[in-house]
Amino acid sequence: MPHRVNHIAIAVPDLAGALAFWRDALGLPLERRETNPEEGVEIGFLALGELRLELLQPLEPQNSIGRFLEKRGPGLHHMCVEVEDILASLAHLRGQGVELINPTPRTRPDGVRYAFIHPRSTGGVLLELYELP
């Protein structure tokens, strides 16, 4: 069972413009900015209680965030929850008939294991699972 939300991701066309609201007007602390060439996004990480907001700006219009913006406009993109054991969670969900985008977890450079669950199984929400190292 997931025990908390790790982050909520928001797709934006312009990170500076989004920071003008979330950091400057609303007052959330910007923890860091990061360019992720593999995903093709620039990310602003803002702290909000026990979770983070991730503002995702595509670096090219044809990647997944760019296509999302073109199709749906800016807004809430996905939600990520933490689990203790991602292999067990994925096996359990598969057994329940849940459609997995990543049937086996992927691993980031910092050791986080993650997998996405298809919105068709969740009521329209792109849901990410994280297992922290």
Cβ atoms within 10 A of the Cβ of 57, count?
24
- If one asks whether residue 30 binds its own copies (CB under 8 A), the answer comes out as no
Using CB under 8 A as the binding rule, whether residue 26 contacts its own copies is answered as: yes
**Taking contact as CB under 8 A, which single stretch among the options 11-19, 35-43, 59-67, 103-111 is the one that binds its own copies?**
11-19
Largest CA distance in the chain: 45
**Residue 42 CA neighbour count, 13 Å, CB half:** 12
Question: Parallel, antiparallel, or unpaired: how do β-strands 4-11 and 75-82 relate?
Answer: antiparallel
Instruction: Report d(CA 11, CA 17) in Å as an integer.
Output: 12
By C-beta, is 15 or 112 nearer to its own copies? 15
55 lines the binding site for its own copies (CB under 8 A):
yes
Tokens of residue 37, six digits:
């060439």
Q: Which stretch binds its own copies (CB under 8 A): 19-27, 35-43, 58-66, 106-114?
A: 19-27
The residue ranges that bind its own copies (CB under 8 A) are 1-5, 8, 10-12, 17-18, 21-22, 24-28, 48-51, 55, 72-76, 79, 81, 92-93, 96-98, 119, 121-125
